[in-house]
Amino acid sequence: MLTDQNVGLFITGGIASYKMAELARLLIKQGANVRVVMSRSATEFITPMTLQILTKNEVLTDTFEERHPEFVQHVEMAQWADIAIVAPATANVIGKIANGIADEIVSTTLLAHDKPLIIAPAMNDRMLSNPATKRNLALLEEDGHTIIEPDTGFLAEGYEARGRLPELTRIVDVVIKRHVQKGLRQLLHGKKVVVTAGGTVERIDPVRYISNDSSGKMGYALARAAEWYGGDVHLISTKKSMVAPEGVTVEYVESAREMQEAVERQYDDAQFVVMAAAVSDYRVKNKADQKIKKSGDSSDLVIDLEENPDILAGLGAKKKHQTLIGFAAETENLIENAMSKIKRKNADWIIANDVSKDGSGFNVDTNEVTIISSDKSVYQLPEMTKLDAALSIWQTVLEAEDRS
Ligand code: CTP
């Protein structure tokens, strides 16, 4: 998602500096060109050589070590970077950037960088809650910079508190969002979007259940992309172990009926509802309250099933201003079956995919979808990552709605 983007990684001296080798790798894996600038304190925690080898670029550590007579290195670096990330950002560098102080290579280069920064503070909890640090962070936000909230967790000091560097994947997410958003019209600005994701879980007893192969990836990608389009996104998910997308509110549910209740609670003021979840059509009728014990005789072990509500059809029946987007996982007659689902469920759009194909459907990172509207327009997309597919789905839907 960051192909050919120039990312400047500015490392200052905190214990989390050692994680920057991995952050550089993750950014490079996304296609970015990465160049690193390190404060002298950062070099106490991780060597410039490590970052030079990983990024295949020279690392700047000293304002006066001018190796290229044809330009001034910190000015050239500041202009080269399309995106600049300060991570980990110490209280010291936060104070300097907020107040325009330039007295070493990181702060001097950042003063010459004229685009908003992404700043990931990481420090001791008391330093973080110091009024001076809070004041400086507030100033940076006022200036339009993005601050990634530090996590609460096990600090280097040996206790749990706020101040940990966030998961690196969260930092990468913010960088991707900043880059992708530049090219997107904020067509969902001020609009509430509800997305469901994952396979519902129907309990047999407290430790056993019936579910399906849905990974939740397509729903999460749609939620992420909707947020990038400016939406106020509420994700209803069965996947507690998946990392919540940045800026998205996540509510966890288990069964189809819990999902139905959660969606209906959000329905009245929602503009878009995306039913990407794989909802179990049936639930266990004779659910056991206690764990079913092995008795040695399985002849009386029967699981009775009863039908679950069809959430999408229920929403379709009471639709007012909402746009309803459903999915159709098919193994044959894709378009025909999807068209009949649109009608049956009173949806506005159906995203159909042939789950029998290799790069499509459950548990893979790619998808090949066909977007079908209630006015029978058909848009066939090639196989692409689920995130790219999510962006294309929103683009198709939002541009069509914008035209009508
Ligand atoms: N869906 C739903 N509630 C259900 C079943 C499905 O809201 N009880 C939604 C899904 O989230 C999806 C769409 O309906 O957006 C189609 O789901 P799918 O499983 O393909 O269709 P079914 O209606 O279950 O029909 P079939 O299994 O016969 O293909």
The 10s digit of each residue's pLDDT in 127-147 is: 999 999 999 999 999 999 999
User: Which residue CA neighbors atom 4 of ligand 1 most closely?
Assistant: 310
Arithmetic mean of pLDDT over the chain? 94
Residue 98 CA to residue 319 CA, distance in Å, equals: 49
Check pLDDT > 80 for residue 361. Answer: no
Nearest ligand 1 atom to the CA of 327 is 15
Q: Ligand 1 mean position to 396 CA, how many Å?
A: 22
Least confident stretch, 108-112, 156-160, 357-361: 357-361
Least confident stretch, 120-129, 190-199, 287-296, 311-320: 287-296
Alpha helices in 229-378 (DSSP H): 256-267, 311-317, 334-345
User: Which residue CA neighbors atom 3 of ligand 1 most closely?
Assistant: 310
Give mean pLDDT, residues 180-197: 95
Nearest ligand 1 atom to the CA of 308 is 8
35 bridge partner residues: 8
Check pLDDT > 80 for residue 290. Answer: yes
Q: Ligand 1 mean position to 219 CA, how many Å?
A: 14
Give mean pLDDT, residues 296-317: 91
Check pLDDT > 90 for residue 330. Answer: no
SS3 46: coil
Q: At residue 177, what are phi and psi to the nearest 5 degrees? A: -60, -45
Nearest ligand 1 atom to the CA of 345 is 14
Burial class of 376 by CB neighbour count within 10 A (0 to 12, 13 to 18, 19+): exposed
CB-CB contact of 94 with 140 (8 Å)? yes
User: Which residue CA neighbors atom 24 of ligand 1 most closely?
Assistant: 281
Task: State percent of the chain over pLDDT 90.
Answer: 83
Residues 6+ apart with CB under 8 A from 73: 60, 63, 65, 66, 67
- The full set of domains in the chain, from first to last, is 6-181 (3.40.50.1950), 192-292+300-403 (3.40.50.10300)
Q: Ligand 1 mean position to 299 CA, how many Å?
A: 33
- Which pLDDT does position 299 carry in this prediction? 76
CB-CB contact of 234 with 224 (8 Å)? no
Short-list 35, 9, 201, 241, CA closest to 120 = 9
- Which pLDDT does position 243 carry in this prediction? 87
Q: Ligand 1 mean position to 293 CA, how many Å?
A: 33
Site to probe by mutation for ligand 1, drawn from 212, 325, 341 as the one with most ligand atoms within 8 Å of Cβ, is 341
SS3 40: coil
Least confident stretch, 68-72, 87-91, 369-373: 68-72
Nearest ligand 1 atom to the CA of 326 is 15
Q: Cα angle at 18 between 14 and 23, to 5 degrees?
A: 110
SS3 249: strand
* Residue with more model confidence, 354 or 311: 311
Give 229-284 pLDDT, tens digit per residue. 999 999 999 999 998 898 999 999 999 999 999 999 999 999 999 999 999 999 99
Q: Ligand 1 mean position to 3 CA, how many Å?
A: 36
CB-CB contact of 262 with 236 (8 Å)? yes
Residue 61 CA to residue 271 CA, distance in Å, equals: 50
Give mean pLDDT, residues 207-232: 96
Active site residues: 212
User: Which residue CA neighbors atom 18 of ligand 1 most closely?
Assistant: 328
Residue 401 CA to residue 404 CA, distance in Å, equals: 5
Residue 25: in which H helix or E strand, if any? helix 20-29
- Which pLDDT does position 157 carry in this prediction? 87
Pocket of ligand 1 (CB under 6 A): 256, 275, 277, 279, 281, 308, 310-312, 326-329, 341
For the record, the structure tokens of 324 come out as: 């309803």
CB-CB contact of 168 with 22 (8 Å)? yes
Nearest ligand 1 atom to the CA of 278 is 11
Give 295-304 pLDDT, tens digit per residue. 777 777 889 9
* Residue with more model confidence, 365 or 30: 30
Site to probe by mutation for ligand 1, drawn from 222, 275, 325 as the one with most ligand atoms within 8 Å of Cβ, is 275
Confidence band, pLDDT 50/70/90 cuts, at residue 69: confident
- Which pLDDT does position 145 carry in this prediction? 97
Site to probe by mutation for ligand 1, drawn from 310, 350, 393 as the one with most ligand atoms within 8 Å of Cβ, is 310
Q: Ligand 1 mean position to 281 CA, how many Å?
A: 7
